[in-house]
Structure formats: structure tokens, C-alpha cells
Chain A
Amino acid sequence: MTHQEKRAWVMLVVSVAAYAAYAVTILSRADGRPLPDVPYTAPLLWTVGAAILATILVEIALGVVSPRSSRLTDARDRQIGRLGDYTGQSFVGIGAVAAMLMAMAGWDRFWIANVIYVCFFLSTMLGSVTKVIVYRRTFPQW
């Protein structure tokens, strides 16, 4: 497994764990209340911060334990990275447009913040899944 494929796995696992932790926290705090009444800011910021920190720490650990030759990045890694990022970016656009329309329609801030967060999460997850699949299977030709 190349270093870049390991990084794709790390991003996938960390993003899923962070969003799952956030969703469980919010749902457990709701306790019958409407979701917009649940305090969401602190869990959102903590899970985003923890995900960034965890990604950095795991990548540092991978860099330490991996031999230098396996840390090489070549043209195939770059192509797969671009394909994954390009695929995931669609959700960033969807999230931005959805948040803009929701703000214009006067939706509660809870929903606007959460649609942006879920789209960032889906973007990271889709990009990472794309990279992992392409590393394991055939690089697509168009």
C-alpha cells in the first residue's frame, strides 16, 4: 500500500468517526426536543478540530514507521489524488448552494450549519472512497 493510499484510508476513517461522534452527540442531546434547539456549536467545532488533529497525528506516525521508499509519491498517486478531490468537490458546491438557498429562505442557523458540515463530510468521504477504489481497481479511462 502506498503512502498516499494510507492517507486516503486515514481521511476516510477519521472523517466517518468524527461525523458519527457529532451525530450521536447531537441526537443524544436532543432527547425529544426539536433539533434546532440542541446546542450544536461546541460539538461541531470539537469534532472538526479533533478530526484535523487526529489526521495530522496519524500521518506523522505513518511517516515515522514507513520506510522512506514507501513515502514516494509518483504520477499515479497524483492522478488518483486529483480524481478523488475532483469527485468529492461536487458536494462542496452542493453544500454551498444549499446553504445559500436556506439562508435566503430564512431557515434556522442549525440547519444551515449542519447542511454545510454534512456536505463537507460527504465531500471528504466520497473523495477518499474514490481514491481507495481506484488504488484497488483500474484507473478509469475516458
Chain B
Amino acid sequence: MVKPTRVTNSIRAQRLANGEMTQADLAERIGVTRQTIIAIEQGRYSPSLEMAFRIARVLRVPLDDVFHYPDAPEEET
């Protein structure tokens, strides 16, 4: 069944905290298109684990400062 991602992120806030880095700058530094950064920021696309680590590294913060996953109330057991 198709369902929206539950992964959220604070890339936009982290970019602004990193000298107002633009989406284009971040995209160039991790080797993706600006549209992919936009889709990730808007929660329309979940990046691979490797891309998530690259984003966190460029933003100079730990991975879980950038990406968040909600605690389990909706989790199926």
C-alpha cells in the first residue's frame, strides 16, 4: 500500500544556521539536483541512508539533528 513518508527533517533550518546556505549550494555539495533537495525538505521524498549522512555531514550536524522519525504510537506490531 502506498503511504506518505513519516520521516521529517529540519534541513531548511540547518541550512539557514549554516550561513544561509542555498538549496542549490547544498545540492551541488552532495551531488543531487536542487529539485531533490526541495522534495526532501517538503517531505515528498525520503533520501537513502547514504544521502542522509552526506546531507548531515555538509550541514555539520549529527544525522538525527537533521532527520527525525516519530515514536511508535502508529507502529504496527
Q: State the A residues within 8 Å of B (CB).
A: 1-2, 5, 69-70, 72, 74-77, 135, 137-142
- A110 CA / B35 CA spacing, docked (Å): 45
CB contacts (< 8 Å) of B43 on chain A: these are 138
Q: State the B residues within 8 Å of A (CB).
A: 1-5, 24, 28, 31-33, 35-36, 39, 43-48, 51
Which one, A69, A76, A140, A142, contacts B39 given CB within 8 A? A76
Count, A-B residue pairs, CB within 8 A = 51
Residue contact B2 to A142, C-beta cutoff 8 Å: yes
CB contacts (< 8 Å) of A77 on chain B: these are 33, 36
CB contacts (< 8 Å) of B2 on chain A: these are 140-142
Shortest Cβ gap from B62 to chain A (Å): 22
Known: A138-B45, A139-B44. Contact between A1 and B3, CB under 8 A? no
Shortest Cβ gap from B28 to chain A (Å): 7
Residue contact A74 to B33, C-beta cutoff 8 Å: yes
Residue contact A137 to B44, C-beta cutoff 8 Å: yes
Would you list 6 pairs from A and B whose C-beta atoms are within 8 A, ordered by A residue? A69-B28, A72-B31, A75-B36, A76-B35, A141-B2, A142-B3
The chain A residue with its CB closest to the CB of B3 is A141
Known: A69-B28, A75-B48, A76-B45. Contact between A142 and B35, CB under 8 A? no
